[in-house]
Amino acid sequence: MKKDIHPKDYKLVVFKDMSNDYSFLSRSTVKTKETMIWEDGKEYPVVKLEISHMSHPFYTGKMKLVDSAGRVDKFKTKYKKHYEQRTK
């Protein structure tokens, strides 16, 4: 293995899943400005996540249908009035 290619500034960081308020403490090199008090009473940097293993459908077994219409269809319906005015 190559020497000196891995970072050396690992520190404890709280990762917080914003969809269900699940948090876990792990070591990371990520840089963040936000902090929070953990269960042990110490203050740690916090990284906010949109999804984690506690909210991901693969791990939870609960499949959610988030979007039934495609992005293009949504765009067309949103700006339908503007498009019709331009073609008249």
Per-residue pLDDT, 78: 81
Whether this prediction's pTM lies above 0.75 is answered by no
Count of domains observed in the chain: 1
Residues 6+ apart with CB under 8 A from 49: 15, 16, 17, 18
Q: Is residue 4 part of a domain?
A: no
Which is more confident, 85 or 13?
13
Per-residue pLDDT, 36: 94
Range of the domain at 71: 11-87
Contact 68, 48 (CB under 8 A): no
Q: Is residue 15 part of a domain?
A: yes
Q: Is residue 20 part of a domain?
A: yes
Per-residue pLDDT, 41: 94
For 28-78, what is each residue's pLDDT tens digit? 999 999 999 999 999 999 999 888 777 766 656 666 555 556 777 777 788
Q: Is residue 44 part of a domain?
A: yes
Q: Is residue 55 part of a domain?
A: yes
